[in-house]
Structure 1
Amino acid sequence: MDPRNNSNIHDIISRRRFLGGVAALGATAMIGRQAWAADAAPAGGKPNSVFGGVAIGINTYSYRSSGIDTAEQTLKALIENGLSEVELKDGPIRAFGVLPPAVKKETKGDLLAPKPTPEELAKLRAGLLAKAAELRKLYNDAGVNIHIHKVPFGKSDDDINFNFEMAKALGCKAITTERSDTVAKALAPFAEKHKIYVAFHNHTNNIPTVDTLDPLLDYGKYIAFNFDIGHYVAGSKGKSPLAVIEKYHDRIVSLHLKDRTPDGGNVAWGQGKTPIKEVLQLLKKEKWPIHADIELEYKIPAGSTSVAEVGKCVAYCREALA
C-alpha cells in the first residue's frame, strides 16, 4: 500500500510533526468556518437530493478536474449541485486537518526523529477525531450528510481501528475501498466490532458474481458492496446490473452511477448502455436504502466544468425518479 495515501499515523508522524499538528489543531478558526458555511448556503435553504425516496449523492472524485481540493470548496460545489449526500474522499478530509498531510518524501532527519509515545499518539488521535466531528458539523449544518468516507486503511491494527473511529465521528455508515478478498478477511472483525460496513468497489475485472453467491460476502455480515454499475456493464460486455442489485440489495451500501459502453467507453449519461434510469426506478420501487452516488468519469466538454457536468447528472437522476 502506498504510504503517501494511507492513514498509518505511526509511520508518518514524527514527534516534531506531532507537536506541530497539535498546535495547528488548537488554532482552528471555527467562527470563520461557520461564517463561510452561512455564506455558501443556497438562498432557498439547504440542499435536498433525495428524489422519490432515493438518496442521490456523489463520490467527490467527480470534482477532481476543477481544482476543488479542500473540504470547504467541496461543500460549496455540493451545495451548488443541490446534493445533500456525499462519499467523501481523503483529499478534503486531509485538507481539513482530520488526517496528517500525505507524506511524499521525508528528510533523513525526519526519518530518524523519535516516534510519538503512546500518550502522544492517544492525544493526537483524540485531536484528529475532534476535527472529524467539526467537519461533520460543518457539512451537516449546511444540509449535507457524509454517508461514506474513502480513506485508505493503514497497516497496523491501531490504524485500521482509527479509520473506523473516524467513520463514526464523520457520521458515516460505511467505508469504501477497492475489492480484495485479502483485505475483506482482514477488515471483517473490525467492521463487526464497530458496526460500520466496508463496501468494496468493483472495476471491470472483478465484478460481483450472479450465478453463485459472491465469495467476498462470506467474510462477515459487515462486508458489503459499493457496486459500480458502469464498470459492471463494461466488464460484463453489456449485461444489465439490475440482476446484481436484485440479488445483493441487502449487501449493497451504495452504487456508483456512470454511463459506459460494453466495449469500455466512458460517455455522457444517456449515450451508453448503462441502465441508470432503470436502476434508480428499481430503488424507488423497492424502497431499498441504497445510496446512489454520481461518479463523473466521462471527458468534460470544452467550456464546461465538473460542477456543471455533475449538475447535468443530478438533473438526470431527478427526472428519472420523478
Structure 2
Amino acid sequence: MPVNENKTPNPSRREFLVKGAITSLGLLIGSTSAWSTPFSFQGKPNSKFYGVQIGVITYSFRSMPGNAEQILKFIIDSGISAIELMGDAVEEYAGRPVNPVKMQPWVAGQPPKYSDEEKAQLAAYEKQMADWRATVSMDKFVELRKLYNKAGVSIYAYKPNALGQKNTDAEIEYALKAAKALGAASVTVELPKDPAHSRRLGDLAAKHKVYIGYHAHTQATDTAWDEALSQSPYNSLNLDCGHYIAAGGNNTKETLLALIAAKHDRITTMHIKDRRTKDNGGNNMPWGQGDTPIKEILNLLKDKKYAIPATIELEYDIPAGSDAVKETHLCLDFAKKALGA
C-alpha cells in the first residue's frame, strides 16, 4: 500500500516551532559531541531508500514521553520521514477530555490495580471519551497532518485505542475518519480473537475506505490472518516480523519471507525488530544480533517493489549513555546499509 505523502503547507505557530527545532537540529548535527552517531541528512529527513520507506512507531520513543510536537522532533532527530502514529498524543493535540485517573504502567503478567473509586472514574471517563470521539471535529487532525508534512514527515498509519470490542461503532468510525484526516492509509490494532469483531471492523473500514492492519505477537502463524482477510478487502496485516520469528516452531526466516511474498498485497504495514527465536530465548536484541532476517526482508521489499512501510519498533533495552532517538537512528543506519544505500 502506498505511503501518503500529502505535504500541503499550513503556516502556524506550531510550524514555526518545528522549523526552529529543525534549525536547532542542524546546529546539533554540526557538533561532534552532540550525538554518538553522525546523522546522514540535512534539512528535512528522508528515510526512503530504493523505494523502501523506513518508518517508526511512536512506541519506540516511550522512554521519552512527549506531546505531538515533541514526538515530531524525536522523529526528525532520528532521521525518519514517516510514522505510525499512536493515539494518545494525537488525541491530546485534538483536545480530548483529561483523564481524572493517573494510569499505571502496564507490566506483562501484572495488570494494574485501581481502587473502586478509580474504577468508577475510569468507567465514566470511557463514556466521556466515546462521546468526544463521536463528535470531535477533524480540523485538528488535519492541522497535525500539515504540521508533520511541513517538517518532512508523512503519517502512514494511525493506532488509536478506539478499535476494541467494547468501543462503539461511532468510536471506530472516528478512528477511520481521523486516519484519513492524518493522511494515513490504515489504522492498526491487535488481531481479534473473536472473528465477529474483525468482520465488524472490516465492514466499517470498507465504508470509509481505510485499511485495518491487524498486529499479532507470538501467536502469529502463516494462517493466523486468513479468516480476517476473507471477511473484507479492507482487512490487512500489520506484520510484526520480530514476533513472528520469536514464536519459533514452524515459523522460520524462510517461511516469513514466503509469507511476505504470498500476502504482500494484503500487508499494509510491517513492524521490524530483531528478536531471537523461542529456542534462543526470544529476546529483543540490537539490530543484527537476533534471528529476524531484517536484511533479507528489506531487500525483498526493494527487489519486488512492495510498497509496504517497514516500521522500526525499538524494543531492546537502551544501553547506558544512549536514548531512544540515538538507538532509532542506529536501526535506521542498519536498514540503510542493508539496502545498500
TM-score by length of 2: 0.77
Match of 1:205 among 219, 224, 229: 219
CA spacing shift, 1:111–1:89, aligned 2, 3 Å: closer
CA distance in 1, matches of 2:91, 2:215: 22
Confirm or deny that 1:71 pairs with 2:71: no
1:177-196, aligned counterparts within 5 Å?
177-180=189-192, 181-196=195-210
Confirm or deny that 1:306 pairs with 2:324: yes
For the Cα contact (< 8 Å) 1:54–1:292, is it kept in 2?
yes
Q: Which residue of 1 aligns with 2:18?
A: 37
Letter in 2 for 1:159: E
For the Cα contact (< 8 Å) 1:179–1:206, is it kept in 2?
no
CA spacing shift, 1:103–1:149, aligned 2, 3 Å: farther
For the Cα contact (< 8 Å) 2:55–2:83, is it kept in 1?
yes
Match of 1:46 among 38, 44, 48: 44
Deviations 1:200-234 (A, max 9, x none): 00100233428xx8222111000000000000001
Confirm or deny that 1:257 pairs with 2:272: yes
Q: Which residue of 2 aligns with 1:142?
A: 151
For the Cα contact (< 8 Å) 2:133–2:170, is it kept in 1?
no
CA distance in 1, matches of 2:173, 2:73: 31
1:77-96, aligned counterparts within 5 Å?
77-96=74-93
Q: Which residue of 1 aligns with 2:309?
A: 291
CA distance in 1, matches of 2:128, 2:85: 29
Letter in 2 for 1:45: G
CA distance in 2, matches of 1:55, 1:229: 16
TM-score by length of 1: 0.81
Shift of 1:111: 5.2
Q: Which residue of 2 aligns with 1:230?
A: 242
Shift of 1:125: 1.7
CA spacing shift, 1:271–1:97, aligned 2, 3 Å: same
Shift of 1:78: 0.7
Q: Which residue of 2 aligns with 1:26?
A: none
Match of 1:267 among 247, 271, 285: 285
DSSP-derived class of the 1:226 partner: strand
Letter in 2 for 1:216: A
Deviations 1:60-95 (A, max 9, x none): 100101x23211111001111111100001122123
Match of 1:164 among 176, 186, 195: 176
For the Cα contact (< 8 Å) 2:54–2:311, is it kept in 1?
yes
Shift of 1:162: 1.2
Shift of 1:195: 0.9
CA distance in 2, matches of 1:101, 1:289: 38
Moved more, 35-44 or 155-164: 35-44
Q: Which runs of 5+ in 1 are unaligned?
A: 1-29
* Percent identity of paired positions between Structure 1 and Structure 2: 40
CA distance in 1, matches of 2:334, 2:133: 47
CA spacing shift, 1:219–1:234, aligned 2, 3 Å: same
Confirm or deny that 1:247 pairs with 2:228: no
Moved more, 89-98 or 53-62: 89-98
Deviations 1:142-200 (A, max 9, x none): 01001101002252221211111111111110000001133311111111111100000
For the Cα contact (< 8 Å) 1:202–1:208, is it kept in 2?
no
For the Cα contact (< 8 Å) 1:69–1:95, is it kept in 2?
no
CA distance in 2, matches of 1:195, 1:86: 20
CA spacing shift, 1:166–1:69, aligned 2, 3 Å: same
For the Cα contact (< 8 Å) 2:157–2:187, is it kept in 1?
yes
DSSP-derived class of the 1:61 partner: helix
CA distance in 2, matches of 1:249, 1:285: 13
Letter in 1 for 2:67: T
Size of the aligned set, in residue pairs, is: 283
